[in-house]
Amino acid sequence: MAKGSNTAVPTGALRVEMGWRAGPGVPAVDASALLLVNGKVRSDADFVFYNQPAHPSGAVRHEGKREAGGRTTDSLLVDLAGVEPAVETVVLAASADGGTFGQVPGLCIEVRDAAGDTVAARFDNPGATVETAFVLGEFYRRQGGWKFRAVGQGYGSGLAGLATDYGITVDDPPRAPRSQVTPAPVPQPPAPAPGRSPAPPVRLTKVTLTKAAPSVSLTKQGGTSGALHVNLNWQTRGPSSGPGPGSGWVRRLSRSLAPQGGLDLDLCALYELADGTKGVIQSLGNAYGALDRPPFIHLDGDDRTGAVASGENLTVNLDHTRDLRRVLVFVTIYEGARSFADLKATVTLRPQHGAPVDFSLDECTVPSTVCALALITNTGDDLVVQREARYLVPERGVSPQRTVDRAYGWGMNWTPGRK
């Protein structure tokens, strides 16, 4: 599509993929969406992005990143049939973290029918320079249906400037002027209703752990109280689906990876309390834990889909940080595959206070059925999250749980169990 052009799209579930070519020096790019009424959001809840991944209506979800063939995509799922009648426009935007869009090669937006995986629209955005945020496209209502417009307008003030311009209250206001768009007055946050406190500003910060920078202090981030939510989501690599962003990745399981049907991954945690008590949190044996009593860790359930909006979730009660010595979060393959090969997984730790922490797992090149994800350690003065992303290979006859125990010196006794 050319910039400014439009086309009709199905009124149903659409996957919006923002793609670019990966490589050294390319900044991180994040997709976001804003649901507008009369050109503005109704509240901060109408902003869907990495820190707020689902709209209250359920119609828009941030699905996260995946890589294939030298390209990276960040996806949104937009169910146009479920968008509230008052919403007239869904803005589809991207922001660059650590650089400008002039450093992002091959930027494009592609709209796919989620059911049939067919392309409904595609816009390759040309000419980016100093912009740090872009409105790539938008869905808008027209004569009882929906259309997609290729927009291609940039901001020099990042995600904060873009969000503020649509009425979002953010905790880090924009500093640089916008570019390639007509300036507009910055809207003031609406006055709170009588008897209500103003809503807290949207936090745009996040921390991504890498091999070069594998740890972060939750204490320094102000994240040592409230609930710490740990989410694991995954996708599997299937046969190539042709050229374009995200080709080679499908949400259904490939036969080679899951010959028996579904891939079942289990999020687990080894814990050690301050009094020396040790144990495991896992769905195997229904050892789900508890938040209001030791071990102050709870596994939310057993998900077999890996969907970003759900996935496997574990919660740690940081109001009891003093009772925790260390927590090792790990994942095992319960059934459906012989190793983590062809698996793409993302781990997100979302403290109630402070910036969320995320990281991706490296490609698995060994016959591993257990992967240590993150180690949370209480040193007394600091609460630290360490990226592990460590694939382990169990010896013959040794369970994945016992394997990760031995690797990290937990020293527990293990017996066979079933779900």
Full-model pTM:
0.60
Q: How would you class 380 by CB atoms within 10 Å of its CB: exposed for 0-12, middle for 13-18, buried for 19 or more?
A: exposed
What does the radius of gyration of the chain's CA atoms come to, in whole angstroms? 22
CA–CA dist 337, 229 (Å, integer) = 27
Structure confidence by residue, pLDDT tens digits, 225-248: 999 999 888 766 544 333 333 333
Structure confidence by residue, pLDDT tens digits, 40-83: 999 989 999 888 888 999 999 998 887 777 888 999 999 999 99
3-class DSSP state of 145: strand
CA–CA dist 254, 239 (Å, integer) = 7
pLDDT band at 138 (very low <50, low <70, confident <90, very high): very high
CA–CA dist 156, 134 (Å, integer) = 9
Closest by CA position to 347, among listed 204, 209, 251: 209
End-to-end CA distance of the chain: 51
pLDDT band at 156 (very low <50, low <70, confident <90, very high): confident
Q: Residue 344: is its pLDDT beyond 90?
A: no
Residue 329 has a CB neighbour count (10 Å cut-off) of 25
Burial state string for 144-174 with b = 16 or more CB within 10 A and e = fewer than 16 = eebebbbbbbbbbbbbbbbbbbbbbbbeeeb
